[in-house]
Amino acid sequence: MSSQPVVGKLPSAAMSVIGVIFLVPFVWLVVAAFQQHGSLELAGGGGFTLSHFINLFHGGGSFLEGGGSFLASFGNSLYLAVGTTVLTTVICVLAAYPLSRFGSRTQEYFVYVLVFLTGLPIIAIMIPTYDYFVTLDIINSKFWTVCFMTATALPFATWIARSFIDAVPRELEEAAWMDGMTRAGSLAHVVVPMIVPGICVVAVFTFVNAWSDFFVPYILLQGSNNPASVTMYSFFGQYNIDYSAVAAFAIVYSLPPVVLYLVVTRWVGQGFALRGALKG
């Protein structure tokens, strides 16, 4: 009997250990960013300084590939992430609605294809994609890179959006149709307002993935069009690494996804629910 409390505490203890393991790199990141000469060790990096953050915004462009500045690479990341998020969110809702509302013999097979595409490694299609981009002379184009990133994000986004649309009672749309509203109108004015939490899930997930994507921009973009995820690679020289600059860059680079997540969770947490939509 005395061993039961101990066994019951094992999951909490295991989670605490795992949490500490994940927390250590973040502690190093913060400490190294404010040291004069950071290293892989927490101690011995010199005194406190803000110079690494200042260099990112003022006169720190010399370390970036192609002579670009941090702000330019940051802007490229925003362009890719926001563009991919907006296109993916809009298209996935339009694609998920007929999958949810119109039944057919091939519908479930199509859903299975979506699930399969979500697990397809991006590297498997990058070689032919790069060949197409070169042949069509659209290599190093941020717009077409956004289109490609949107295409790769759509399968999972559509699958998620469909599950949220399935939860919306069909009776609400039928009531809107009886009042003279078209199907497109019911989608815009009935379904979409009720799946705002799902849209936020898709948007945050897509933004985070596009923001942190390294491989696709590295292959399809060059020079001054590179996003911050690629330009961070310029910190790693052949013989030395400026750990403090890398840490400062990483902290600033990680802020947009964190801010977006906090804003969206606070907004959605204020109360979007299907309860009360139907009576009886």
Q: What is the CA radius of gyration of the chain?
A: 24
Contact 104/173 with Cβ under 8 angstroms? no
What is the rounded distance in angstroms from the CA atom of residue 224 to the CA atom of residue 173? 49
Determine the topology of domain 69-240+254-268 in CATH. MetI-like fold (1.10.3720)
Burial (CB count <10 Å: 0-12, 13-18, 19+), residue 155: buried
Q: How many of the other CB atoms lie within 10 Å of CB of 158? A: 24
Question: For 102-167, what is the HEC assignment?
Answer: CCCCCHHHHHHHHHHHHCCCCHHHHHHHHHHHHHCCCCCCHHHHHHHHHHHHHHHHHHHHHHHHHC
Residues 6 or more apart whose CB falls under 8 angstroms from that of 252 comprise 53, 56, 70, 74
> How many Cα atoms occupy the beta-carbon half-sphere of 58 within 13 Å?
5
Beta bridge partners of 133: none
What is the rounded distance in angstroms from the CA atom of residue 173 to the CA atom of residue 142? 39
pLDDT of residue 4: 56
Provide the residue-wise pLDDT of the chain in tens; the chain has 280 residues.
455 566 667 778 888 888 888 888 888 888 888 888 777 776 666 778 888 888 887 754 444 544 457 788 899 999 999 999 999 999 999 999 988 888 777 777 777 777 777 777 888 888 899 999 999 999 999 999 999 999 999 988 998 999 899 888 888 888 888 888 888 888 888 899 889 888 999 999 999 999 999 999 999 998 889 999 888 877 776 667 778 888 888 899 999 999 998 888 877 765 444 444 444 4
Give the helix ranges, DSSP H, for 138-253: 142-166, 170-178, 183-186, 192-194, 196-212, 215-220, 228-231, 243-253
Burial (CB count <10 Å: 0-12, 13-18, 19+), residue 121: exposed
Looking at the whole model, is its pTM more than 0.95?
no
What is the rounded distance in angstroms from the CA atom of residue 12 to the CA atom of residue 5? 12
Q: Domain residues of the chain, as ranges?
A: 69-240+254-268
DSSP-derived secondary structure for 45-106? S-SB--HHHHHHHSS-GGGSGGG--HHHHHHHHHHHHHHHHHHHHHHHHHHHHHHHH---TT
Query: In the block, which residue shows the tokens 């299975």?
Result: 112
**3-class DSSP assignment, residue 241:** strand
